[in-house]
Structure 1
Amino acid sequence: MGAIVGYARTSTTEQVAGFAAQQRMLEAAGVTKLFSERVSSVAARPELDRAMEYLREGDQFVVTKLDRLARSVADLVRITELLATKGVVLKILDMNLDTSTPTGKLMLNLIGSIAQFERELMLERQREGIAKAKVEGKYRGRAPTARAKADEVRKLTDDGIGPMEIARRLDIGRSSVYRILGT
């Protein structure tokens, strides 16, 4: 049997108690190597990447909750596929889920499918709400901030300032600068 590797994550440094609780649960589950970080799920997660590189065939990868590991169904699929190709078992403690069993694999796939379905329903409701608000004249969309700064972008370009610096100075996206410049 391989190593029992754990991963703990909280979104902010203020979540100290939750972070400590994750670490205790992982240690109680027999984790001998722990990767942990305090970053938002939408940010880069270098410790998760390091854990994925560290894992070897026969290892167990343990997390306390599914949302500590994956940010979306696509992310979950990517992670579980990588673990499967490495021959690593995934265990999610709060769900008592273990992908070394057929039931565990089935449950993970069902959970992923349900989460995807929920996301699609939410997006559909959002689109319907926007359409209704447009009909009622209550929705105008997001103000196009970058286009309003097109003249400033061109002036800074003429002054020899690069696109990244223009984006930083005007607080707009670099891709918006390129779009305005037509490149």
Structure 2
Amino acid sequence: MSRIGYARVSTIDQDLDTQIAKLKAEGCDIIRSEKVSGASRDGRAELAIILDFLRPGDELVVTRLNRLGRDTRDVLNLIHECEQRGAFVTVLDPHVSIRGEMGHVVLTVLGMVAQMERRFIKGRQRDGIERAKGKGAYSGGKRRVDYAAICKLDQEGLGPSDIAKHIGCSRMQVYRVLADRPGILPVKV
């Protein structure tokens, strides 16, 4: 039986140290972490590895339920998958485990709250953007990759995988940038 910790933050500028420290203090034998959105399971390779690794009697430990996901159905499906493998989930804050029936009820409610919280955040974000646009103070989100550098490397003959490695982004981002160039047909993936 292993205690496997899972830490997640949504963006690369956020810090995982606090979650990892809590998971270590809880006695997790293995800790996997990633910096990716919890809106869906897409792109969450570390979580997929944990789910593949889980054995009967193992325990998946997270600091808060929203580290598993922001969508109630996705979180409940994830918990169900753990149970199908004979493993269980424990959330540290508030301390809840699915070992008992009451734990399932509490985790379902917490999952619904996490989803509702995400909707509120998105709504406040949309409202703030609309207010800023009305004042002429909004120019869009900050670009996360250097569009000019990607186009330059493409013109030099580098392929999308090599460009992604050189720039430090995903290959999919390279494809999107190249597809956005004026007068260029979209790249098929």
Report if the CA contact (8 A) 1:5-1:61 is conserved. Answer: yes
> Which stretch has the larger CA shift, 90-99 or 161-170?
161-170
For residues 1-56 of structure 1, what are the alpha-carbon distances to aligned partners after superposition, in whole Å with 9 as ceiling and x for unaligned? xx2533264879993x87455324236xxxxxx2124654558564x544422323
Q: Which amino acid aligns with 1:92?
A: V
Instruction: Give the TM-score taking structure 2 as reference length.
Output: 0.64
Q: Larger % of helix: which? A: 1
Q: Which residue of 2 aligns with 1:120?
A: 119
Is 1:63 matched up with 2:61? yes
For residues 140-167 of structure 1, what are the alpha-carbon distances to aligned partners after superposition, in whole Å with 9 as ceiling and x for unaligned? 22477989749x83x7656544344456
Count of matched residue pairs: 170
Q: Which residue of 2 aligns with 1:30?
A: none
Is 1:79 matched up with 2:75? no
Change (3 A) 1:137 1:8: closer
- For the residues of structure 2 that align with 1:88 and 1:24, how far apart are their CA atoms? 21
Report if the CA contact (8 A) 1:163-1:177 is conserved. Answer: no
Q: Which amino acid aligns with 1:91?
A: T
Q: Which amino acid aligns with 1:79?
A: L
Q: Which residue of 1 aligns with 2:97?
A: 98
Structure 2 spans left out of the alignment, 5+ residues: 38-42
Structure 1 spans left out of the alignment, 5+ residues: 28-33
For residues 124-154 of structure 1, what are the alpha-carbon distances to aligned partners after superposition, in whole Å with 9 as ceiling and x for unaligned? 111111112212222122477989749x83x
Q: Which residue of 2 aligns with 1:162?
A: 159
Is 1:134 matched up with 2:133? yes
For residues 50-74 of structure 1, what are the alpha-carbon distances to aligned partners after superposition, in whole Å with 9 as ceiling and x for unaligned? 44223234x1414252269525336
Report if the CA contact (8 A) 2:58-2:86 is conserved. Answer: no
Report if the CA contact (8 A) 1:90-1:98 is conserved. Answer: yes
- For the residues of structure 1 that align with 2:87 and 2:8, how far apart are their CA atoms? 23
- RMSD, aligned CA: 4.0
Q: Which residue of 1 aligns with 2:30?
A: 35
The share of aligned pairs that are identical, in percent, is 20
